[in-house]
Structure 1
Amino acid sequence: MELMIGDETICLRKRNYKRYYLVVGILAGLGGFLVGILLGRFAIPRGEEDGMVSQAPRFSSYEGGQHSTQHDLPLDVSPEFHRRISADNIRDYLRDITSHPHLAGSAQSEALAQDLAQFWRELNLDQVNLTPYNILVSKPDRSDPNAIQFVDEHGNVVFTSAPVERTLTQQDNIDEAVPPFTGFSPAGTVEADLIYVNYGRYEDFVSLTQDMSVNITGKLVLARYGELFRGDIVKLAAHFGAAGVILYSDPGDYTWGDKVYPRDWWLPGTAVQRGVVMTGNGDPLTPGYPSIESAYRPPKGFVPQSLPQIPSHAIGYDDVKFLFRQMKGAIAPPDWRGGLNLTYRLGGVKTPKSFVRLRVTTRNERRTVYNVVGIIRGWEEPDRYVIIGNHRDAWGYGAFDPGSGSAIMKELSRVYAEMKKEGWRPRRSIIFCSWGAEEIGLIGSTEWVEQYSKLLSDRTVAYLNIDTAVQGNFSLEGNASPLLYHVMYEATKKVPNPDVGDQKAGLLTVYDKWLQTFPDKPISQNFVRPKLRDLGAASDYTGFYQLLGIPAADVHYVYNKKLITNIAYHPLYHTAYDTFYSFQSFADQDFQTSRTMAHVWAETSALLADSVILPFNITDYAEALLRFADNIQKNYGRMMKAAANITLDQCHEAVKSFMREAKEFHQRITKMDKKKPLAVRRVNDQLMQIERAFIDPAGLPNRPHYRHVVFAPSAVDSYAGTGFPGLIDTLFEIETARDQAKRWEVVKKQLSVVIFTVLSAASTLRDVTAFMADYFV
């Protein structure tokens, strides 16, 4: 026998077989050495010193440094969170964050981004990045502020709205505050009669123009905040022919009792709620694509469709009193009357030739904003991400919104980094994100999602949104994908109730108080859980959820909404009085509520990052699908049958099929061997793909930037979530539509999309080892 090695021929004989085995052994050793190098370089997760993590480190108190087959989480993680999270740290972080206003695109906001990046570098996170985006921002003109004026019959300006809030306490530094404005309102001047339109909802405009016969074409409309997104108010006003919009906060919606700020946290008459009126998400100049250096942008002068068509401005209720007293017309219906001690009239001014003037000087310009991203790599599955995000920009000082969340996320990252330093790592990677420019259209997070959509879609387990984390100190409330219901319930059962009085009453955990205050409808006679609302599009979870189908949650501590039913948000929302002083004085004096929220997010992220099997409950999703189908049947079933012979029978059958597959899937999980890495990976991949299965690349009718077939914001209120939105949108007001026949065809199409999508999602739950023909039965 002969063996060729290079140019040399070696003859193998029985007498020199030892030489043969020696050569083969050398070759095998070299091969093994090379394979070992390659595996060491590319297969092992990268860590801190030289980029390598060779094992799964754990605290020494955890046996063996591996996951238990009886417990998905290491036994010592929850006590570590409870011991390490510091209320004092959160207080200090918030005081620093709120020392100056930090509007999107401002130097102060960039300084906060740089400070956070440095903070994370000093914590020795595995990776810290600053990601820039050059976007369109909106700014008021300090030297020539926006104004509402009343001009009398002689042409004299007898009233001008306040250019900025008045200083009410020594702790306020209003001199630095951003003047009131509505983001992306076009500049211009409108002089016209004033018409009161209640909350500016679709039904309000219909009632006013049709039932009350009030003409609003070319008029200024006055709308109060409280029931829907301000951008939708302006959009609806333009649709009904108005020339401009004046927004205000009515004391009937933002006060309770007779004390207002600074005696209590209820809204004073001098306060003005700022906010964006753009109806799209992301940079309006680069829709659908990231606003990076190479991005195409339209020529100067182009007005994107997402920007409002008519000007708008917001004022306080002290100023609106003067305007109401100049109005004539019919007295407003009882449910249109707010908390002002005057007569609410529908419109027109009393004196001929007098009018209201809306003057907007807001301008748009391109600025660079930054996202800050900090990463702790997982030891077992570094390519699976649990993302924790909070926006950084604010309309003013931003203590409640978003500072309470920013301070909590900062403390959470410190605790995780400290645990990592002592030898612990999560199973999956945890990514902390501080978004720029959320307040003017969810821009920072949307651009990031657009830029990294392929990677995020493949690898992200869930997105946890920490926005206005503390609105009050009463109980937990929030929104989430049904996949995360179970996660939120289990996490809050681990967190002590911060209220000592509640604990004495037997409400020992956050979950206990949450269940008592905000119970959901009973699932069965003896089974009640806390309520989690459906996700709309009110914060940075929107891009993850609506574009990519990544499960998301957004929860916070709130005031007693059972007692105070008229308050939509915390009363000082988006005003110059949203300061460290007001937060500490009236929401969280000892910062124990903030500490509790940090603990809730720590437990939630740990369950997602460290459980062997992802803790998603798919039957909760099936229950939500059934609820939506039942609601459509209840509200539209008879009309659909009578007008177009449409039934929901197939829709209900599809939902039942999904429920069956969900139950069988969870049964298989209970029987699987969790010690087999590939089996675990296979099941987790199926769990990760469930939410994605409900994404329609075509998007919703006339709203391609919303792709989730099951959950999306209402077409007439971006804050509110709705089930089967494509179907609901086409059914809305269909009986009064001029093109009913065409609309009914769209209804049929959207119903077919719902049925197909639910069945398709159900198929992803089947046993992947089953014969492929099963998929086509």
Structure 2
Amino acid sequence: QKVLYSFSIYSSKTDLKAEVIDVSYGNADDLKRIKKMKNVTNRIALLKLGRLPLLYKLSLLEKAGFGGVLLYIDPCDLPKTTNLSYDTFMVSLNPGGDPSTPGYPSIDGSFRQNRSNLTSLLVQPVSASLIAKLISSPKATTTNNACTPLELPNNEERIVNMQIQTVTKFKTVTNVVGYLKGLTSPDRYILVGSRHHTAYSYNGQEWASSTAIITAFIRALMLRVKRGWRPDRTIVFCSWGGTAFGNIGSYEWGEDFKKVLQRNVVAYVSLHSPIRGNSSLYSVASPSLQQLVAEKNNFNCSRRGQCPETNVSSVQMQDDADYFINHLGIPTVRFSYEDSQLSEGPSFLFEALFPKHTTKIEELDPFFNLHETITKLSGEVILQIANEPVLPFNALDIALEVQNSLKGDQPNTPQLLAPASRLRESTELFQSDEMRPANDPKERAPIRVRMLNDILQDMEKSFLVQHAPPGFYRNILYHLDGKTSQFSILLEAWEHCKSLASNETLQEALSEVLNSINAAQVYFKAGLDVFESILVGKN
């Protein structure tokens, strides 16, 4: 079976012959500068992948009037040890789920819209070596240890003829879901998500690592189950299909069971791409779970005698966890090994799916020690969330994350500082020993524990904004990358505001953040009022 490795899923389909204009990374400043120099209508943008979500950059190009996009990865953005100059790749323009059933489950009998393309742009990924030929330049060169990025000179003109023709077919995407029912709280779920192979030859063996880890964990659990053990809460094991095409399996399953999941899911543990490199362990976690993840990291490194600085952050990731983070506000955790040099480069390079990896999993982890570490870390987090009488979530860390996200020199954020301070005060009291059940299990009132857990599991739902730029998380507790700490929608709105005379977009974003902070503060205040009434009743 022959596969065209270089294509963009859900690109527009037509022919376009036009001048190529280098837009670099395609941010608002790049486009503002270029539009002053050239007419961009129906031109072809030469766009570098990275730094911002691809869907967002394409939306800017589409709004500016471009007709097509040649997308590539600049070799200077990759580690020196990685040579992908001649490799082609695939990208998906699907924000998530089955595009023919937006916002509702893709089940038999559902109305299917005709949406073979999700953009008016012709989008074609190409290799860096082809771009070097296009601009009549040698590949990115290194001078005095400094890499020279690929760039088309402004005074030179290149005409390219783009022809994109694709055929859209409906095919079945299959998920595999099983569960281990809890004893005391069977209606509270911990989702454990992996994925299986659905895109021929794409992403090499990453899916195999995901499958191997969830299989090993299930096998270990079953040994305990045979001896009569059961978790307190139900653990649901999910292997998603259609991931490469826009997390189709996880989105559709989530939409199908949305009402149940909103009420019952307490956490999502992702095993999406656990082995991407072998140099550094990276942990992505919701603010409420960062303390738990840091504890597990420190405990694990002490067992191995190696304790590097714990790297835990709340950043966007391309993952089947997307639906659960952005539509349900579920606290999420993911452990993975990555190449530290690649992580230091521009963000969002992971949006490119290569047909094969130059380094096989066996070479990255020949003795499967990294797989074992990820299995243990993920398993310990899963079991603690499944068995702790009180969910190990930290409300105060959410408030601290909100305050940290308001630091910096962004304008108009002072109006958010007061509500953020009130939120911190409420979470400090909520997190205090006075408001939590006693540590002695005999002193715990079951109804009070249940009420407390209900509040803890829904903490992040207040931070789901209604409107976010394309490619940005709706859950504003997550940042664009590890290099930025401000709210991503405020950063984007400020950049947008600088290029326009109006600041309406910025005011809308500020309002979204303000409403989220206020909603969270009211939520915790209501929880405090309930517990205070119980305490008064007991006294």
Q: For the superposition of Structure 1 and Structure 2, which TM-score range results when normalised by the shorter chain?
A: 0.7 to 0.9
How far apart are the structure 2 equivalents of 1:454 and 1:418? 33
Residue correspondence of structure 1 range 226-237 to structure 2 within 5 A? 226-237=50-61
Over 3 Å counting, the alpha-carbon distance change for 1:560 and 1:243 in structure 2 is: same
Q: CA deviation at 1:289?
A: 0.9
Residue correspondence of structure 1 range 65-464 to structure 2 within 5 A? 177-210=3-36, 213-257=37-81, 266-278=82-94, 280-298=95-113, 300=114, 307-325=118-136, 339=148, 344-346=152-154, 348-349=156-157, 355-392=159-196, 393-394=198-199, 396-464=201-269
Give the partner amino acid of 2:130: D
Structure 2 counterpart of 1:651:
419
Structure 2 counterpart of 1:754:
516
Give the partner amino acid of 2:253: W
Query: Given that residues 12 and 121 in structure 2 are in contact (C-alpha distance below 8 angstroms), is that contact kept between their aligned partners in structure 1?
Result: yes
- Describe the superposition over 1:334-381 as per-residue Cα deviations: whole angstroms up to 9, x where unpaired: 9xx9656x774246436xxxx311121222222221111011111222
Over 3 Å counting, the alpha-carbon distance change for 1:615 and 1:626 in structure 2 is: same
- Describe the superposition over 1:442-500 as per-residue Cα deviations: whole angstroms up to 9, x where unpaired: 221111111111111111110011111111112211321111112212222343579xx
Give the partner amino acid of 1:689: D
How far apart are the structure 1 equivalents of 2:103 and 2:398? 28
Give the partner amino acid of 2:125: A
TM-score by length of 1: 0.62
Structure 1 counterpart of 2:428:
660
- Describe the superposition over 1:566-615 as per-residue Cα deviations: whole angstroms up to 9, x where unpaired: 37589996222227x62222x22222111211111111111111122211
SS at match of 1:556: strand
Structure 2 counterpart of 1:582:
360
Query: Given that residues 712 and 721 in structure 1 are in contact (C-alpha distance below 8 angstroms), is that contact kept between their aligned partners in structure 2?
Result: no
Over 3 Å counting, the alpha-carbon distance change for 1:727 and 1:757 in structure 2 is: farther
Residue correspondence of structure 1 range 475-554 to structure 2 within 5 A? 475-496=280-301, 506-507=305-306, 512-513=307-308, 515=309, 530-536=310-316, 538-554=318-334
1:679 paired residue among 431, 435, 448: 448
Q: CA deviation at 1:553?
A: 1.7
Larger Rg: 1
Over 3 Å counting, the alpha-carbon distance change for 1:747 and 1:399 in structure 2 is: closer
How far apart are the structure 2 equivalents of 1:482 and 1:288? 27
How far apart are the structure 1 equivalents of 2:249 and 2:174? 7
Q: CA deviation at 1:755?
A: 4.2
Q: CA deviation at 1:387?
A: 0.6
Q: CA deviation at 1:321?
A: 1.9
Over 3 Å counting, the alpha-carbon distance change for 1:603 and 1:751 in structure 2 is: closer
- Describe the superposition over 1:76-119 as per-residue Cα deviations: whole angstroms up to 9, x where unpaired: xxxxxxxxxxxxxxxxxxxxxxxxxxxxxxxxxxxxxxxxxxxx
How far apart are the structure 1 equivalents of 2:354 and 2:505? 42
How far apart are the structure 1 equivalents of 2:376 and 2:459? 28
Moved more, 386-395 or 449-458: 386-395
Query: Given that residues 535 and 721 in structure 1 are in contact (C-alpha distance below 8 angstroms), is that contact kept between their aligned partners in structure 2?
Result: no
Query: Given that residues 400 and 583 in structure 1 are in contact (C-alpha distance below 8 angstroms), is that contact kept between their aligned partners in structure 2?
Result: yes
Over 3 Å counting, the alpha-carbon distance change for 1:459 and 1:606 in structure 2 is: same
Q: CA deviation at 1:743?
A: 4.3
Q: Point out where structure 2 has 5 or more consecutive residues left out of the alignment.
A: none
Q: CA deviation at 1:557?
A: 0.9
Indicate whether 1:635 and 2:443 are aligned: no
Over 3 Å counting, the alpha-carbon distance change for 1:721 and 1:544 in structure 2 is: farther
Q: CA deviation at 1:218?
A: 1.8
Q: CA deviation at 1:384?
A: 1.1
- Describe the superposition over 1:697-732 as per-residue Cα deviations: whole angstroms up to 9, x where unpaired: xx1267799654x43576xx9x99875555555444
Give the partner amino acid of 1:685: D
Moved more, 603-612 or 416-425: 416-425
Query: Given that residues 469 and 489 in structure 2 are in contact (C-alpha distance below 8 angstroms), is that contact kept between their aligned partners in structure 1?
Result: no
Over 3 Å counting, the alpha-carbon distance change for 1:635 and 1:191 in structure 2 is: same
Query: Given that residues 177 and 576 in structure 1 are in contact (C-alpha distance below 8 angstroms), is that contact kept between their aligned partners in structure 2?
Result: no
Query: Given that residues 289 and 451 in structure 1 are in contact (C-alpha distance below 8 angstroms), is that contact kept between their aligned partners in structure 2?
Result: yes
Query: Given that residues 403 and 468 in structure 1 are in contact (C-alpha distance below 8 angstroms), is that contact kept between their aligned partners in structure 2?
Result: no
SS at match of 1:292: coil
Over 3 Å counting, the alpha-carbon distance change for 1:761 and 1:535 in structure 2 is: farther
Structure 1 counterpart of 2:525:
763
Structure 2 counterpart of 1:116:
none
Indicate whether 1:555 and 2:321 are aligned: no
Moved more, 602-611 or 417-426: 417-426
- Describe the superposition over 1:622-676 as per-residue Cα deviations: whole angstroms up to 9, x where unpaired: 2101112334xx3214xx7xxxxx7335334333333433333x44326365234
How far apart are the structure 2 equivalents of 1:604 and 1:378? 16
How far apart are the structure 2 equivalents of 1:565 and 1:553? 21
How far apart are the structure 2 equivalents of 1:343 and 1:200? 13
How far apart are the structure 2 equivalents of 1:277 and 1:572? 10
Query: Given that residues 537 and 720 in structure 1 are in contact (C-alpha distance below 8 angstroms), is that contact kept between their aligned partners in structure 2?
Result: no
How far apart are the structure 1 equivalents of 2:217 and 2:407? 40
Query: Given that residues 177 and 397 in structure 1 are in contact (C-alpha distance below 8 angstroms), is that contact kept between their aligned partners in structure 2?
Result: no
Over 3 Å counting, the alpha-carbon distance change for 1:196 and 1:702 in structure 2 is: closer
Query: Given that residues 470 and 557 in structure 1 are in contact (C-alpha distance below 8 angstroms), is that contact kept between their aligned partners in structure 2?
Result: yes
How far apart are the structure 2 equivalents of 1:771 and 1:608? 28
Q: Point out where structure 1 has 5 or more consecutive residues left out of the alignment.
A: 1-174, 258-265, 328-333, 516-529, 641-645
Indicate whether 1:593 and 2:370 are aligned: yes
How far apart are the structure 1 equivalents of 2:486 and 2:212? 33
Over 3 Å counting, the alpha-carbon distance change for 1:700 and 1:711 in structure 2 is: farther
SS at match of 2:178: strand
How far apart are the structure 2 equivalents of 1:497 and 1:577? 35
Over 3 Å counting, the alpha-carbon distance change for 1:759 and 1:366 in structure 2 is: same
TM-score by length of 2: 0.87
